[in-house]
A and B are shown apart, each in its own frame.
Chain A
Amino acid sequence: EVRLVESGGGLVQPGGSLRLSCAASGFTFSSYEMTWVRQAPGKGLEWLSYISTSSSTIYYADSVRGRFTTSRDNAKESQFLLMNSLRVEDTAVYYCARSESSGLGGRPEHFDVWGQGTRVTVSS
């Protein structure tokens, strides 16, 4: 079964840090690009980041660039999101997703496998 499982969420104070993990199984992780998407309470979906198979290409949304860092460990079949300088507005459910391409890849296109999400609450 193709599966993504996020972990690492929790309650953190403004200005604090958290590291999210996403463990993949059921597919050849190293062959797939990955992404992070979040959803604030009662709101829509917000794309955050993309990482290519070799980590050579990384993109971020403006809202998190400079504060969040995405990475991956193909040997451990995992993707990570290090979140620093957290703000109240970063409160959301964070989803890890597999990024598929109809073409040559190298950029995020459609997200065909999602994890169940991990909740991050930033509050004092």
Chain B
Amino acid sequence: DIQMTQSPSSLSASVGDRVTITCQAGQDINNHLNWYQQKPGKAPNLLIYDISRLEPGVPSRFTGSGSGTEFTFTISSLQPEDIGTYYCQQFETLPITFGQGTRLEIK
């Protein structure tokens, strides 16, 4: 199984801050990476697929980048509604695996 490691596991930032989450894959995943947001008590929500493609309806402050084994998710200007847990997910090989999540809080 491909292990996906996110960092940090949690972070606290202020409204307006630039926030970055990294995701490291245990092997080259050929850019087959997605990002999800999960708000407390809710189902996950797809934000970015195929490294950097923004899901329709998702604000442009969310971006993704990276290649190979190192990937980055960025919120350019943190908004109060962005609180939640963020997960990366690889689909290079089965089984599909997710990162352990990054919990984002507002200071």
Is A1 part of the contact surface with B, judged by Cβ < 8 Å? Answer: no
Q: Could you tell me how many residues of chain B have their Cβ less than 8 Å away from some Cβ of chain A?
A: 24
Chain B contacts to A: CB under 8 angstroms: 32, 34, 36, 38, 42-46, 49-50, 53, 55, 87, 89, 91, 94-101
Knowing A102-B50, A107-B91, A110-B50 are in contact, say whether A46-B45 is a contact too (CB < 8 A): no
Q: Are B91 and A114 in contact (CB under 8 A)?
A: no
Contacts of A110 in B (CB 8 A): 34, 46, 49-50, 89, 91
The smallest beta-carbon distance between B63 and chain A, in angstroms, is 16
Q: How far is the CA of A112 from the CA of B97 in the complex (A)?
A: 16
* 19 other A-B residue contacts (CB within 8 Å) besides A45-B44, A100-B49: A35-B96, A45-B36, A45-B87, A45-B89, A45-B98, A45-B101, A47-B89, A47-B95, A47-B96, A47-B97, A61-B95, A95-B43, A95-B44, A109-B32, A110-B50, A110-B91, A111-B46, A112-B55, A116-B43
Given contacts A109-B91, A112-B55, A116-B43, contact A44 B50 (CB under 8 A): no
The contact sample of 24 A-B pairs, CB cut-off 8 A, is: A35-B96, A44-B99, A44-B100, A45-B36, A45-B38, A45-B44, A45-B98, A45-B101, A47-B95, A47-B96, A47-B97, A47-B98, A59-B94, A95-B43, A102-B50, A108-B91, A108-B94, A108-B96, A110-B89, A111-B34, A111-B36, A111-B89, A116-B42, A116-B43
Is the beta-carbon distance between B46 and A112 smaller than 8 angstroms?
A: yes
B92 nearest CB across to chain A (Å): 10
* A-side interface mostly: strand
In the docked arrangement, what's the CA distance between A118 and B23, Å? 29
A107 touching B49, Cβ below 8 Å: no
Contact yes or no, B98 A46, CB < 8 A = yes
Q: Which residues of A contact B97 (CB under 8 A)?
A: 47
